[in-house]
Amino acid sequence: MPQLSPLAPAAFPDLPAIEGVRFAATAAGVRYKDRTDVMLALLDPGSTVAGVFTRSATRSAAVRDCEAKLGGDASGGAAILVNSGNSNAFTGRAGDESVRRICAAVARLADLPQERVFTASTGVIGERLPDDRITACLDTLKSGLSPDGIGMAARAIMTTDTFPKGATRTVEIDGQPVRIAGIAKGSGMIAPDMATMLVYIFTDARIAQPLLQEMLRDLTDRSFNCITVDGDTSTSDTLLLAATGRSAGITARGGPFEEALGAVMLDLAHQVVRDGEGATKFIEIAVTGADSDADARRVAMSVANSPLVKTAAAGEDPNWGRIVMAVGKAGARADRDRLSIRFGDILVAKDGWVAETYTEAEGAAYMKRPELRIGVDMGLGSGAATVWTCDLTHAYITINADYRS
């Protein structure tokens, strides 16, 4: 077992049951021994499902299948089946057939059309998925279904994660409590083999699929699309959001439900960064004053993905010159003489040079914190973006250089 991330939350949160969805998990022995590795979520009729997926050109068979099924008829319920240990990615036609067999078996089990069965696989790449081990335990999964099983589901989808990830919010709408509960796995947006990101969020809100999809897409851009561990992109990233319709109805954008959903997604996204491979620092990069939001995002991601910024953080070195370098290479408009940089509230550099008030000692003391905030003001316009990352440590090298040996 890998050591628990020093940035892990104190405990897995107490996730509420969401009326209209039940969960089960079991040990199918896909690859791991002595742990659960398959989870099933069954959604009652009337549930709408929205999703966003990796844009990788080599995305897995399950991802392609899910994408094609979004927006289908919600009247008959739906199922989500996920296995860990094998990603079924780059497994050719055999991979497509595994997805079809699993979907067919789950459809029979739950009396659903195959078009309402969503699957995902995470784990090693390029090895044939032993789908018979999964279909063999479907009856066990069905008999174990429970409204309280979401925590078990969170554990069953883990691969190199050092802790299960969950988040919840409840808002009152039209006098009714509307609950949102989500789980995630991932040690970053990294790796096709053991660290693909999977996220499943459930709510009892009543909401039409197109509105749910629109909300999900926009909120993803401000949460999961704002995190990076190493800039590598999974072949399997999948985020599904299911609404069972048992509580109040949502008919418009921008209200408290959307805000709460955004908070759940950001919470889960931050947990993925906190479990980034080898991470010892949680780093927020806030860019302001750019020509546009897109430029601000380009700069923020350039800083967040820079190996030199990330190794400096690992070494607790207030090496602000590397931030200047990462700003410069981002491809956004920058003017050296208007640029300022902050560590937390400490003004480090302004007007193209180190700030007169800044001392290296102050910067070095700040860098010892486990949570860092790097502020970059471009001094040009009103474009802004905030992203999150972790440091790049010896442990990252160890995990990834020695993974299969």
Please enumerate, by residue number, every residue annotated as part of a binding site for substrate.
159, 185, 196, 277, 400, 405
Is 337 one of the binding residues for its own copies (CB under 8 A)?
yes
Residues in the interface with its own copies (CB under 8 A) total: 71
- Does the active-site annotation cover 196? yes
Q: Rounded to whole angstroms, what are the CA distances from 285 to 92, 224, 393?
A: 39, 15, 18
Q: How far is the CB of 7 from its own copies (least distance, A)?
A: 17
Return the exposure string of 239-260: e unless at least 16 CB atoms fall within 10 Å of the residue's CB, then b.
bbbbbbbbbbebeeeeeebbeb
**Which CB sits closer to its own copies, 222 or 329?**
329
Q: Which of residues 205-234 bind its own copies (CB under 8 A)?
A: 230-234
Q: Which residues are annotated as a binding site?
A: 159, 185, 196, 277, 400, 405
Distance CA 110, CA 46 (A): 15
Q: Which of residues 257-296 bind its own copies (CB under 8 A)?
A: none
Binding its own copies by CB under 8 A: which of 332, 374, 376, 385? 332
Is 91 one of the binding residues for its own copies (CB under 8 A)?
yes
Q: Rounded to whole angstroms, what are the CA distances from 391 to 228, 329, 387, 394?
A: 10, 19, 13, 10
Binding its own copies by CB under 8 A: which of 93, 143, 175, 254? 93
Q: Rounded to whole angstroms, what are the CA distances from 384 to 221, 324, 344?
A: 14, 17, 17
Give the three-class secondary structure for 320. Answer: helix
Binding its own copies by CB under 8 A: which of 92, 177, 255, 370? 92
Q: Which of residues 117-176 bind its own copies (CB under 8 A)?
A: 124-126
Sign of the Cα pseudo-torsion (157, 159, 161, 163, in order): positive
Is residue 55 classed exposed, middle or buried when 0-12, 13-18 and 19+ CB atoms within 10 A define those classes?
exposed
Q: Which of residues 292-331 bind its own copies (CB under 8 A)?
A: 305-308, 311-312, 314-317, 319-322, 324-331
Distance CA 17, CA 247 (A): 13
Give the x-and-dash track for 34-73 against its own copies (CB under 8 A).
Answer: --------------------x-xxxx--------------
Is 6 one of the binding residues for its own copies (CB under 8 A)?
no
The one catalytic residue in 26, 196, 238, 389 is 196
The residues carrying an active-site annotation are 196
